[in-house]
Amino acid sequence: MKSIIQIIIVIVGLATTAQAQTREQIYKAAGTPVNPKVQVSWNKYYDHGGISEILKKIAAAYPNLAKVESISKSYEGRDIWCIAITDYKKGDANKKPAMYIDGNIHSNEVQGSEFAMYTAWYLTESFGDTKFIQDLLADKTFYIVPTINPDARDKFFKTPNNASSPRSGVVPVDNDRDGLVNEDGYDDLDGDGHITLMRRKSSTGRFKIDPAFPARMIQVGPDEQGEYEMLGLEGIDNDGDGQVNEDGGQFEYDPNRDWGWNWQPNYIQNGAYKYPFSLPENRAVMEFVMKHPNIAAAQSYHNAGGMILRGPGAIEDVNTYNAADVQIYDAIGKKGEQIIPSYKYLVVYKDLYSVYGGELDWFYGGRGVYTFSNELWTPSLMFNDTSATRGVNDLSSYEFDRYLLFKDAFVDWKSYDHPQYGKIEIGGPKKNFSRMHPGFLLESDAHRNMAFTIYHAYHTPKLEIDTVMEKSLGDGLREITAVISNKRLMPTHSSQDLKYKIERPDYITLEGAKVIAGMTVDNRNPTAAVEQRNNPATVEVPNIPGLGQVTARWIVQGAGKVNVVVDSKKGGVVRR
C-alpha cells in the first residue's frame, strides 16, 4: 500500500511540474506575447490538421479579434481556411482597409503557412498590451489564408519527396500521355520518406567524396581520376526507358501560372494548366478577393532565396505598373530590406525571369492591389553571411549542418542493390533542408516577415475628416466645406485601378440637410470648384491620394446639424 501511495505522489508531482508557468514566473521579452492563451511552437511545421487546429484555437481564444471560415474546398475536399483578424468591436471588418496574406501555393514551399499563421497568432496575442496593435486592428482587417494548396502540402509531408518536389497540387494529370494519371511519384528505395541521390562506384566517374564533408560529392578536375558516377535522384526505371521515377518531369502544372492576368498556354509559359483559374484552389482565392473589395494590399509567401518581389512578371507589363504606384512599391519594398536585412527587394521580370499568369500580377493588374511576394529562406541566415549561396561549391550548408544541426540535415550514404544499376549507394540532403528553415530560425524569420506585412498594412489608406467649415450665404442658405485627408502612403485607388475603373469612386455624403448643390474643390485654388449635378448630396471623387487630401463643398438650405460621411471601398468608412 505504501508503494502505491508513493507512486501516486510522484505522478501528481510530475503533473504539477508539467503545467504551464504562471504569469508571475515570466518576465516579458520585448515585442513578444508574454503568456499566450494559444500555445504554439513556431519551430516546427504543421500539416493541414495542425493548421486547422491552430486557427480554431485562435478564434476560440479571441472571439472579438478572430473569425475562421472555410472559403472553399480543395480538390480532395480539405477546407481552405481563412482567418480574419480585426477589432470586431470597432467597425465592420469588411469595410475597413484590408491586408490579404497567403502561403504555400507550391506544395513544397511550405513555411509560408507558418509565417501566415504566426501573423494571426501574434496580432491576437499582442493585442492586450500593445497599443500599436490595438490601433492597427481598430483601423484594419487582415484576411489570412495559410495554405492555398492543402492537399499537396500534406502530400509533401507524408509521401516521399525531395526539397523541390512536388511543386504542383493533386489535380489529375497524365504526365507521360500513357492514359494513367498521377502515377509519376517517386520511388523511395530505403523507405525513409526522403528522395535523396544515387551514386555508383566507377573508375570513369567524375566525382569523389569530399574528405572534409563526407555527405558532399565534388567533381574532380580534368587530370584527376574520379571514384563515383552520379545517377540522379533516388528511384527506379519501371518501364525501361532510361528514366527513373516513372518519367516524372514531362509535365507538372504550376499553380502560380494559373491566374487571370497575362495568362499564356503551356507552350509559352511552362506549367500553365488548362485556362485561367482552372485549379479549384486558385479559383476559391479569386472569388474571395472579388467579394472583398476592401482588400488594398496583399502578400504571398514562397521559398526560397530571401527576396521581396514585386511585378511585373513579364516585360509586356512594364507600362502596367504606373510610375506613381512604383514609387509606393519602392518605399515599402526598401523599408522591407531594413526590416528583413538578409532579403533583397527585386522586380520579377528584370531581376529573375519572366512569369505569365502569376498571382502577383493578377492582384495588381486585375484588382489594383499593391502586392508583394516574398521568397522565404536564404543561406545568409545560417551564419549571417550575405556571400552564402545555395550553389554546389558553397560549403555553408555543410558547415551549418555540422556545427548547428549536428548532422541532422543529410541522410548518410548507404549501399543498396538496385534492380537496374546493381550495387549503388543512396544518400544526400533531406527534403526538409535547403529550402525550408531549420526550426530555430523559423520563428525569427516569421517575425520579421510578419513585421513587413504589418508595415505594408499600416500604409493602406487611413481617412480622416480634418475640417468641416460652415459659412452663411444669406436667404437661408449655407455653404458647408469638408476637407478629407489620407494619412498613409497608399491612395484609395491605385493608378491601375483608376485606369481600368476597377472599383467605384469614393463617396463623400452630407446627411441631415437639404442639399441644393454639391461640388469638389481644387485644393490649390479654393475658389475653383467642379459641380456635380446628379445626386449632389453625395459627391463622388475618383481618388483620395496617399498623404494627400480632397475637399468637398455643398450648398444647403435650412439650419440644423449635419453629418459628413466618407465611404471608400479600400479606404473604409469615416463620419463626422
Instruction: Provide CATH 3.40.630.10 ranges for the chain.
Output: 32-154+284-377+438-458
- HEC sequence for 139-173: HCEEEEECCCCHHHHHHHHHCCECCCCCCCCCCCC
Q: In terms of CATH architecture, what is 463-575?
A: Sandwich (2.60)
Instruction: Provide CATH 2.60.40.10 ranges for the chain.
Output: 463-575
- Give the Cα separation of 20 and 36 in Å (integer): 11
- Give the Cα separation of 446 and 49 in Å (integer): 20
* Exposure b/e, 236-249, CB count within 10 A at least 16 = b: ebeeeeebbbbbbe
Can you give the pLDDT at residue 4? 61
Residue pLDDT, tens place only, 508-559: 999 999 999 999 998 777 778 999 999 999 999 999 999 999 999 999 999 8
Torsion angle defined by CA atoms of residues 347, 349, 350 and 351, in that order, rounded to the nearest 10 degrees: 70
Name the amino acid, one letter, at 33.
Answer: P
Residue pLDDT, tens place only, 412-438: 999 999 998 999 999 999 999 999 999
Q: What is the pTM of this model?
A: 0.93
The per-residue pLDDT of the chain, averaged, comes to 92
Query: Based on the number of CB atoms within 10 Å of its own CB, is 133 exposed (0-12), middle (13-18) or buried (19 or more)?
Result: buried
Look at residue 61 and give its three-state secondary structure.
Answer: helix
Query: Based on the number of CB atoms within 10 Å of its own CB, is 190 exposed (0-12), middle (13-18) or buried (19 or more)?
Result: middle
The residue-averaged pLDDT of 54-83 equals 98
Over 60: is that where the pLDDT of 12 sits?
no
What letter would DSSP give residue 5? Answer: H
- Give the Cα separation of 465 and 463 in Å (integer): 7
Cβ-contact 244, 236 below 8 angstroms: yes
Q: How many CA atoms lie within 13 A of 419 on its CB side?
A: 10
Confidence grade of residue 249 (pLDDT, cut at 50, 70, 90):
very low
Q: What percent of the chain has pLDDT over 90?
A: 83
Over 90: is that where the pLDDT of 344 sits?
yes
Write down the CATH number for the domain with range 32-154+284-377+438-458.
3.40.630.10
Nearest residue to 267 via CA among 248, 251, 246:
251
Can you give the pLDDT at residue 574? 97
